[in-house]
Amino acid sequence: MSEEIATQATILHVDMDAFFASVAERDNPELKGKAVVIGMGARGVVSAANYEARKFGIHSAMPVGRARRLAPHAIFLPVDMARYQEVSEHVMEIFHSFTPWVEPISLDEAFLDVTGSQKLLGTGREIAVAIRKKVEEQEGITCSVGIAPSKFIAKLASANCKPNGMLEITSDRILTFLHPLPIQAMWGVGPKTAEVLERLGLRTIEDIAKLPRATLIRALGEANGASLYELAWGRDYRDVTPEEPDRSISAAETFAQDLDNPEEILTEFLRLTERATARLRDRDLFAKTISIKVRFADFSTINRSKTLPLPIDSTHDVYEVVKGLYQALRIERARLRLVGVSLENLSEGAPHQMMLGEREVGWRQAEGAIDQARARFGKGSVRPARLISASEDDED
């Protein structure tokens, strides 16, 4: 049975190609043509791999140790989230120059509704060509673009033209393109759902479409079954939602060796607090809820948080909360594998309530001056004394 799909929208899904690795190659042209892996440490995981590295079977979330065994000649680089964030912001600015309807999905991909832009900028395909050209000229990296009447089909299209490609799926081609794809290509089909579908003898999206809706609902539940049935017929009515304010900013560190010294752990918490609050201030945001994560050697994890009466953005103030949350756990000499700091409940303005005896110029003003110095002389030019001594110890 054939079902008609009627829509006038033009949606782009723009996805950077091997984004973290591409940024590294752009910053160091000597890496071009070599296998590059983002991720270091004996117990770390791969954050990204360029296409040269992927030829050896390396992929995201793979243990770094295994990646080294697969490609011992590959170049392994540390994660530089601040740099990726910077390039991502530039890329998002390019997207916004074509349409206000931009919905970021992550640092390196976004949906764009260019339906209203076509009168001025040309067809969806012409806009996609212009975006790809502008990203490469201004940022020195490439992207792949899927063009379709819906978000679901646009994302599938971009995945099927990587790297550095462009694929348009018009309304009359949706089912021809969609139905031969494997069930794993569907939104909402993870390993467990795929196992259920495969037990029903379903291998392709066409198999799902031909299954009675009621049968699918009985197998997966009302919400999942109904959603997959609609998507299997190419029906996706979700709008592109313009960018919302950040919900949280976080920083975490997995240690090369488990830590059990409270002072060393607090130093790591300070390092992560500095990293997170710098990003917070860079975006002119304030946090009202401060959270920490502690993961033990046996992988058990504790999360603790505190919501403050007023939002803050000072490294000093945030660290005092982080320190208090950690010390309240009373886990002396426990072996920790990972710690993390998260800034949540974010806002663009912070009402300031002067405390009795408080100086008019304090930590916030001092850290504003520090941010300016870092912007001029580099992010490592001004640091807390505790972190400077830690860095020097690491280098010895």
Segment 46-60, tens digit of pLDDT:
989 999 999 999 998
Residue 6 near residue 46 (C-beta atoms within 8 A)? no
Q: Give all strands (DSSP E) within the chain, no chain letters.
A: 11-16, 36-38, 48-49, 75-77, 102-106, 109-113, 143-148, 166-168, 248-259, 286-296, 301-312, 336-347
Cα gap 164→136, rounded to integer Å: 10
Determine what percent of the chain falls in helix, strand and coil, rounding each to the nearest 5. 45, 20, 35
Span 326-358, pLDDT tens digits: 999 988 778 898 899 999 988 876 555 444 444
**What is the phi/psi pair of residue 368, to 5°?**
-65, -40
CA distance 78 to 152: 33
The two most distant CA atoms of the chain are separated, in Å, by 77
Residue 254 has what pLDDT?
77
d(CA 323, CA 267): 10
- Between CA 271 and CA 282 the distance in angstroms is 17
Long-range contacts of range 2-9, CB-CB < 8 Å, 24 or more positions apart? 2/175, 3/233, 3/235, 5/149, 5/171, 5/174, 5/175, 5/233, 5/234, 5/235, 6/171, 7/149, 7/150, 7/171, 8/115, 8/149, 9/113, 9/115, 9/149, 9/150
Q: Is the pLDDT of residue 267 over 60?
A: yes
**For the chain, percent of residues with pLDDT exceeding 70:** 85
Q: What is the pLDDT of residues 17-41, one digit of tens each?
A: 999 999 999 999 999 999 999 998 7
Q: Has 15 been labeled as part of a binding site? A: yes
Q: How high is the pLDDT of residue 29? A: 93
Sign of the alpha-carbon torsion through 83, 88, 91, 96:
negative
Position 380 pLDDT exceeds 60:
no
For residues 174 and 153, the answer to whether their CB atoms sit within 8 Å is: yes
Choose the catalytic residue: 109, 139, 168, 367: 109
Q: Taking 60 as the threshold, does the pLDDT of residue 359 lie above it?
A: no
Q: What is the pLDDT of residue 305?
A: 93
Q: What is the reported pLDDT for 377?
A: 46
- The pLDDT score that the predictor gives to residue 6 is 40
Cα–Cα distance measured from residue 167 to residue 175, given in angstroms and rounded to the nearest whole number: 15
Q: What tens digit of pLDDT does each residue of 285-314 get?
A: 899 999 999 988 877 889 999 999 989 999
Give me the pLDDT at residue 242, please.
86
Q: Are 37 and 63 in contact (CB under 8 A)?
A: no
* pLDDT (mean) for 187-191: 83
Please give the helix or strand (H or E) that residue 216 lies within, else none: helix 213-220
Instruction: Identify the residue with better confidence: 338 or 1.
Output: 338
C-alpha to C-alpha distance for 279 and 82, rounded to whole angstroms: 8
Residue 108's alpha-carbon distances to 19, 88, 95, 281, in angstroms, are: 6, 6, 12, 22
The pTM of the full predicted model, rounded to 2 decimals, is 0.66
- Which token pair is 315? 């490294």
CA–CA gap between residue 60 and residue 37 (Å, rounded): 9
- Angle between helix axes 363-377 and 315-327 (nearest 10 degrees) is 110
Which one-letter DSSP state was computed for residue 107?
A: T
Q: What is the pLDDT of residue 364?
A: 53
108 is in an annotated binding site: yes
268 included as an active-site residue: no
* Top-confidence residue, 359 or 66: 66
Owner of token pair 């795929």: 194
Exposure string over 174-197, b if 16+ CB within 10 A, otherwise e: bbebbbeeebebbeebeeebbeeb
* Distance, C-alpha 246 to centroid of its chain: 12
Determine the residue type at 55.
Answer: K
- Domains in the chain and their CATH numbers? 11-16+82-175 (3.30.70.270), 19-80 (3.40.1170.60), 182-232 (1.10.150.20), 248-395 (3.30.1490.100)
Taking all residues of the chain, what is their mean pLDDT, rounded to a whole number? 85
